[in-house]
Structure 1
Amino acid sequence: MNRKKESLSYHYKGIDIFPRLDLLHTYKIIGSSSNQIRRDRTSCIFCKKTLSGINKTKSHLIPELFGKNISRNNYECDSCNSLSGKWESSMGTFLTPIRIVSKIKNKKGKIPKFKSRLDEYAIQTEMFINDSGTLKGILATKDDLKIDDVGNGRLKFRLGQCNPFDIYKVFLKIALSLMPDDKLKKENWMIKYLFNGTNDKHIFPYLYKVFLDDKMFTKATFELRQIHQQYKYHPQYLLTGYFGKVIIHIVLPIKKPKKKVYLQMPPILEIQKEKLDYEIEKIDLSDTENKKWDMSFKFSSNMKPTELKYSDN
């Protein structure tokens, strides 16, 4: 899984991608996890099987990996819910660092602990949030925590294996669950990307993540946006997620991609006070095989995690 902060423009499957920060006004919200989703149907929105007392599930629209929530997808059968549950194993690995730095609790009221992969070191790095809310742990290497002379630095989580494309599918499923019936009927072709593992030119499996050092979202919220004006090179649909100290952004599949695409980045200007620069992380979710990768967070001197210690080994 590749992580790039130096340039957000890129070339993908013969298409030039140009990220932008000023296109949000061209999109409108058509679905939000903050609102109850109502549909005029008695069938699963994914496989079209009739929902009954036997196969109807009370699944979460937003997986509880994002934090305890009461969101419900009342239009999904047990089979589709069970299948997507397999993808959430990779999502759990992806979210653990975010949940730790954001202090996001699970349904049992616990913040997950982190244990790194071993690599070439004698021990694994371990980190956790104690009862007083302090980040503590033992670091296997100084590369896991780098601090400059004024106290600013970067904390790195060396994650174990996960399937990047499964992570993309979790977000795509959330987006389709938020899509109104009239739109979903028209865009029914997107559902195949959930269940057949296809990764072709219609898919742009990149996730854009912003870490906010001065903002905290206490409840996970997802919004599905659709473009409301005719722009030749803009995707029809974007999914934005707000949880903990991050904003994430993905593009839904594009039916007829052009030779270039302009992508609206996460709505930083709406959330965070204006700054001279913004750090947006582009994460490649195109791999369909398990990969090891790293996730890091920049922090300022007033956020310094002073109770992380280096191992003596």
Structure 2
Amino acid sequence: MKITDFLDKFEKISSTDNFEKKFVRGIDKTCKFCSKTSNETTFNNVPHVIPELFGKNNFTNNEECDNCNTLFGRFETDLANYVSPYLTLIGQRTKSKVPIFQSRKGENQRSTRIKNINGNPHFNFGSNLSDFEYDYQNNQLNVTLKKKKFVPINVYKGLVKVGLSLCTTEELENYNKTIDWLSQREDDLENTIFDIPLLLLRTRFSKKYYAKPAAILYKRKHSISGNIYRPNLCLVVYSGILVFQIFIPFCDETENINPKEYKFEYDLFPAFVFDVDFPKDQEKIELDISDMSIVKYDMNWRAQVEEDELIGFKYDSIISN
């Protein structure tokens, strides 16, 4: 895989940098999602372009009414249940503090708790000894994160909402069906046919840390050619060392595309570039994608899921009390 693959095919068109402290009271506004104006609805809430569950931030806008803010806010519980364990482990401060992770628990069980103190995770397993094990040979503590239940498609919708918030009004005109999809209840859309897979890619930095989260929206540079379909818009979200990548579904250009006749292709955002030491006088380097720390999720699930994830921590020594 070449580092330039993604950037050869996509270009940055918007980011949260464009929304620093944008929210202003007392001006005429139009909601970019429902098209209602200040004369038809209220704009009292401060809408964050990227939810503060990813980290404390002041990226706000003037183009989201209170009704739409409440409507789309219903995805945030699932999004928080999905992402919060990672934020606890890396010590990412959200709206008020670094979240304390409490695991999903069974009957007559107490939750395993993880609290980040001074940048280091502290574990309280109680009687849940099966949640962790020591690999003494490799000096590693393996912890099973039992996430609270979440609905995968709501996690994806929460991220799509971030992408649409970054869109210009002109670009958003290509995604009216996407707005409808976000607005409706999932049980009303049982037979929805998606133009692209609801794929979530998660990777990480090992040398870079974003104390303040950020989001960037990328647009495909070239038009569709042949029988390969590459999505028009790609969203990348950073938080701490974490990088999340999705593609925005239901672009107007796919209305006349038969998914069975086209091959979907995606390109991984090269977050790992920040961790590569380039040889002197060398601008390109070949990397094996199988060596990258990449987790891929299919998020097209409408029911709550119980997800366990094994995380390994290296240690130098064990101190017995």
Normalising by structure 1, we get a TM-score of 0.81
Whether 1:27 aligns to 2:30 is no
Aligned pair 1:48/2:35, yes or no? yes
Give the C-alpha shift of residue 150 in structure 1.
2.3
Task: Name stretches of at least 5 consecutive residues in structure 1 with no aligned partner.
Answer: 1-19
Contact 2:146–2:307 (Cα < 8 Å) also in 1: yes
Verify the 8 A CA contact 1:116 1:158 in the aligned structure 2: yes
1:157 aligns to what?
145
Q: Which residue of 2 aligns with 1:94?
A: 82
Preserved CA contact (<8 Å) 2:215 2:236: yes
- Please, which of 128, 135, 141 is the counterpart of residue 121 of structure 2? 135
Against the structure 1 CA distance between its residues 193 and 307, is the aligned structure 2 distance closer, same or farther, given a 3 Å change threshold?
farther
Aligned equivalents of 1:42 and 1:127: distance in 2?
43
Q: Which residues of 2 match residues 1-313 of structure 1 at below 5 A? A: 22-36=5-19, 42-52=29-39, 55-56=42-43, 57-108=45-96, 110-119=97-106, 122-130=109-117, 132-139=118-125, 140-145=128-133, 147=135, 149-152=137-140, 154-196=142-184, 197=186, 198=189, 199-232=192-225, 233=228, 234-254=230-250, 255=254, 256=257, 257=259, 258-273=261-276, 277-301=291-315
C-alpha distance 114-200 of structure 1, shift in aligned 2 (>3 A):
same
Q: Measure, in 2, the Cα distance between the counterparts of 1:144 and 1:120.
A: 19
Report the CA distance shift for 1:168/1:290 in structure 2 as closer, same or farther (over 3 A). Answer: same
Q: Which moved more, 1:153-162 or 1:222-231?
A: 153-162
Distance 1:156 1:212 in 2: 21
* Compared CA separation, residues 106 and 268, structure 1 to 2 (3 A): closer
Q: Percent identity?
A: 25
Higher strand share: 1
**How far apart, CA to CA, are the structure 2 residues paired with 1:80 and 1:226?**
25
Output one character per residue of 1:66-86: Cα deviation in whole Å (capped at 9) or x when no partner: 111001021011111111222
Opposite residue 150 of structure 2, the aligned amino acid is: C
Two-structure CA RMSD over aligned residues (Å): 2.8
Shift of 1:295: 3.3
Shift of 1:261: 1.1
Matches of 1:195 and 1:202, distance apart in 2: 18
Name the CA distance, whole Å, in 2 between partners of 1:291 and 1:83. Answer: 22
Stretch of structure 1 that moved more, 187-196 or 219-228? 187-196
Q: CA deviation at 1:301?
A: 4.5
Distance in 2 (alpha carbons) for counterparts of 1:308 and 1:172: 47
- Superposed CA deviations along residues 187-212 of structure 1, whole A, max 9, x for unmatched, are 32221121123442224222100133
Q: Deviations over 1:272-294 (max 9, x none)?
A: 22676112101222111222112
Separation in structure 2 between the aligned mates of residue 104 and residue 73 of structure 1, nearest angstrom = 23
1:225 & 1:148 partners in 2: Cα distance? 44
- CA distance 1:53–1:137, shift in 2 (3 Å): farther
The answer to whether the Cα contact below 8 Å between 2:90 and 2:119 also exists between their aligned partners in 1 is no
Partner of 1:43, secondary structure, is: coil
Letter in 1 for 2:169: D
**Using CA pairs below 8 Å that are at least 6 residues apart, which structure has the higher relative contact order?**
1
Q: Within 2, Cα distance between the matches of 1:118 and 1:21?
A: 44
Q: Find the aligned partners of 2:169 and 2:134 in 1 and give their Cα distance.
A: 49
Output the CA distance in 2 between the equivalents of 1:161 and 1:269: 30
**Could you tell me the TM-score, scaled by structure 2's length?**
0.79
Structure 2 vs 1, CA of residues 105 and 259 (structure 1 numbering), >3 Å: closer, same or farther?
A: same
Whether contact under 8 Å (1:117, 1:158) holds in the other structure is: yes
Aligned-pair distance for 1:221?
0.7
Q: Any gaps of 5 or more consecutive residues in structure 2? A: 23-27, 278-286
Deviation of 1:141 after TM superposition, in Å, equals 2.7
